Amino acid sequence: MAEPADEISEQEKQTRNEMLFTLSERDRGTLAIAVTPNEWEKKEIYRELIFNQPYIILLWISEGFDKELQKKAPDLMHWMSKRFVFEENGPDGMEAAEATIEYGTMSKRGKIPERLERIRQLEETWEKLCYHNEDKKRLIKDKINLLRLLGKEYAAAFMNAKAEEAFLKAIALDHKVGAGLEGQLLYETGGFYYGFKKYELSLQYFLKALEVEKNRENSDIRNIYYMIGMVYQGLHQWDDALTNYVAALEAYKATNDGYSLGGTFHQLGMLYQDQGKWVEALENFRLALEWDQKTGNEYRMGRHFQLIGIIYEQQQNWDKALENYEQALVWKQRSGNDYELGHTYYQIDSVYTKRGEYSQSLDFLTRAYNNFLLYDHSHLPLAETALARIREKLAEAEHPNPDTNS
C-alpha cells in the first residue's frame, strides 16, 4: 500500500503557525503557512495566493504531503527555490541531505555556473554521507534521493555517463532496502534516456514503471502514459503514441490538471505535425496555448508559438511564420528561457534564407550562433556551417561572377 500523507495535529499546527507568523513579523514581506493535505484538497489554501501576492512563501509540511505536492502541483514545485528538512541529527552529526542544497528547476541547461555549483554541493554532500548511522535504511534512502538529484543535474549539464551511473545506482540501492521508490526511479531513468534519444531503453524503463505503479494502491500513472506516448512518437509509431497520449489526456481531464493538459495538447500537436497533418497540429497547439494561459505557464508559451511558426514555414506562409517566431521570442525572453532563444533565431534565419533576404538572415543566424556558443549547444556546428554559407551568398551578391551573368 502507498504510504499515506502525514497529517499535522491541530495543536502542532497552532504551535507552528505561532512560530512562523513570528517570523513574518520579523521579516516583513514573508507569508508563512502550516498546511495539511486535507486543507489543500478543500482549496482552503489557494495556489493562486502563491503566484499573485508579493510575498516570500514558507510552507511547513510533512514529508508525505511534500510527495503529494510534487505529483499534484508541479507548477508550485517549479517556483520553489529552497527546501529544508528538519529532523534530529544522527550519530554522525549529518543533517538531511537536502538541508543546504538549492532546490527547484533551473530553466537554463548546460554547464552554467549555478548548475556546476549545485553539482559540487551535491557531490560534497554525497561524500559526507556514511553508514555510521543507527538508521541505515533511512541513510540509504537519503542516498537514493541524493543520487536522483545528482542524476538530474548531471543530465541537465550533459554529463550523460555520470547521470546514467547515478540513476542506475539509485535503482540498485532501492532494490537493496526496499525503499518503495522503484516506480519513481524507473520513471526518472526512462526520462533520462528519453532526453538523449535512447528510445528503446527509455521505453523499457517506462513500461516497467507502469507495471510497478499499476500494482500499487493510489498510484499516479498519468505521467507514465504521457511519457510512453512521447517515446513511441520518437520511434515514429504514431498509433501507439496517440493511444497513450489520449490515455494521459483523459486522466488529466478527470483530475482537472490544467498544467498537464497544456503539455499533452502540445505533444499531440507535434505528433500531428510529424505526420504532416497541419490542421490537427494547429488545433492542438492552440489548445496548448489556451491551457497554458489559464494556468500561467509562461515558460512553455514560447515553444507553442515556435512550433506554430514552423507549421506556417513548412506551408511557405512566411509572414505568418515570422509573426509566430516573433511571439516565441517575446515569451522566451519574458520567462527567462534564454537557452532556447537560439532555436528561434535559427528558425527566423531559415525563413529569411528561403526568401533570399541574406542580410536579415545573417543577423539572426549570428544571434543563434552566439546563443549556441554561450550554452555549448549541440547545434553549434550547424550554425557555423550555415554562417559560412550565408557569407558566401552575400559575397556573391556584392561581387557577382561576370561569367555567371553573361
For 275-287, write each residue's pLDDT tens digit.
999 999 999 999 9
Task: Name which residue leads in pLDDT, 50 or 313.
Answer: 313
Does 115 lie in the same domain as 47?
no
Does 73 lie in the same domain as 105?
no
C-alpha torsion angle, residues 91, 93, 95, 99 (rounded to 10): -170
CA separation, residue 311 to residues 184, 270, 291, 321 (Å): 36, 10, 20, 8
148-154-118 Cα angle (round to 5):
85
What's the one-letter identity of residue 313?
E
Residue 370 has a pLDDT of 95
Does 97 lie in the same domain as 59?
no
Does 387 lie in the same domain as 301?
yes
**Domain span at 140:** 86-179
Does 134 lie in the same domain as 30?
no
User: Could you tell me the pLDDT band of residue 130, with boundaries at 50, 70 and 90?
Assistant: low
Residue 129 has a pLDDT of 74
Closest CA to 124 of 99, 157, 104: 99
Residue 224 has a pLDDT of 95
Does 132 lie in the same domain as 109?
yes
Residue 165 has a pLDDT of 94
Query: Does residue 210 form part of some domain?
Result: no
Residue 120 has a pLDDT of 87
Instruction: Tell me the mean pLDDT in the region 358-372.
Output: 94
- pLDDT reading at 66 higher than 70: no
Does 71 lie in the same domain as 24?
yes
Question: Domain end: 25, 58, 80, which one?
Answer: 80
Does 393 lie in the same domain as 315?
yes
- pLDDT reading at 42 higher than 70: no
Question: Domain end: 162, 179, 196, which one?
Answer: 179
Q: What is the CATH number of the domain that holds 403?
A: 1.25.40.10
User: Could you tell me the pLDDT band of residue 5, with boundaries at 50, 70 and 90?
Assistant: very low
Residue 16 has a pLDDT of 42
Instruction: Tell me the mean pLDDT in the region 193-218.
Output: 92
Question: Domain end: 42, 59, 80, which one?
Answer: 80
Residue 4 has a pLDDT of 42
Does 115 lie in the same domain as 133?
yes
- pLDDT reading at 91 higher than 60: no
Q: Which residues contact 219 (CB under 8 A, 6 or more apart)?
A: 2, 183, 213
CA separation, residue 34 to residues 43, 96, 312 (Å): 14, 21, 50
- pLDDT reading at 21 higher than 90: no
Q: Based on the structure, what is the number of domains in the chain?
A: 3
